[in-house]
Amino acid sequence: MMPPPAATIGQPKPGEFYILEAGTINGPANGVVFENVKDLLSPPHLILKPEGGGFPPLREIPRLVYNRTKGPPPKDLEPGFSGYWLVSERLHQVMVSVDPRAFAFAEVDYRLADGSKGPRHLLCDVVQEIDALNEEASKLLIDTTEDFVNGKFYDLTGGASVTFDRERLGSAHVFKTPYTIEVFCDRVFKDAVAAAGIETNTDADGLWFIDASDA
C-alpha cells in the first residue's frame, strides 16, 4: 500500500478532535443560585476561580440551591458559577474515568429550595494544558500582534480547522492549550459521554461538541 501524500499527513480529520463548550443555545438559564460565593471570595477578586485555574483554598463548602421558581434544573454541564462549570454526578464519573488529570473538582452542598439535599453535583475546572496544536497542519489565525502572556494567541474564529499532535498529547483526552481559551477533547471522551446516556449531538444535556476540523 502506498503511503498517503505528504500534504494529507496530520491534516485535520472530521470527528477526531472537538471544541467542548457548555451548551447554552436552547432554553432559559437554570434555577441554581450560588448562595455563599461572596463568603468564599478573596478581595479584590470578583470571581472564585484564580487566574491560573483550579481551586483556591475554600473556607467552607460551596453551597448551591436549586429553586424551580427561578428556572429549570441544571443540565449535566452548566457554566457561569464564578468561573467554573457545574457538573452532574454522571458527567463527573465520565470525566474521572476517561481523563482524571484533566480536571479539578470541588464538592458542593447542593440543596433544593425546601432545604433537602439534592442530587450530587460538583464544581469543575479543566486544568490540563498541553502545547500540542499542530500549527503546520492546521488552518487558523496565529495572532502575535499584541503583548499576549504566552507570546501568541490562537484565534479560532472565522472558519478555523485545527488538529493536534497525538504524540504530544500522550494519554490526554481533554485539554486546553497555552494559546487558546477553548477546551478541546477527542473522540474517546465524546463517545464515553454518549455511552453514559448524555446527549452529544445537541446541547440538550448542556454539552456542545464542535468538530475542530471545521470550527
| pLDDT on residue 178 | 95
Identify the band that residue 7 occupies on the pLDDT scale cut at 50, 70 and 90.
Answer: very low
Residue boundaries of the structural domains of the chain: 12-23+129-214, 32-126
Q: What is the pLDDT confidence band of residue 215, given thresholds at 50, 70 and 90?
A: confident
pTM higher than 0.75, yes or no?
yes
- Flag whether pLDDT at 24 surpasses 80: no
**pLDDT per position as a tens digit, 122-178:** 999 999 999 999 999 999 999 988 888 788 999 998 889 999 999 999 999 999 999
Quick one: three-class SS letters along the chain?
A: CCCCCHHHCCCCCCCCEEEEEECCCCCCCCCEEECCHHHHCCCCCCCCCCCCCCCCCCCCCCEEEECCCCCCCCCCEEEEECCEEEEEHHHHHHHHHHCHHHEEEEECEEEECCCCECCCEEEEEECCECCCECCCCCECEEECCCCCCCCCEEECCCCCECCECHHHHCCCCEEECCCCCCEEEEHHHHHHHHHCCCCCCCCCCCEEEEEHHHC
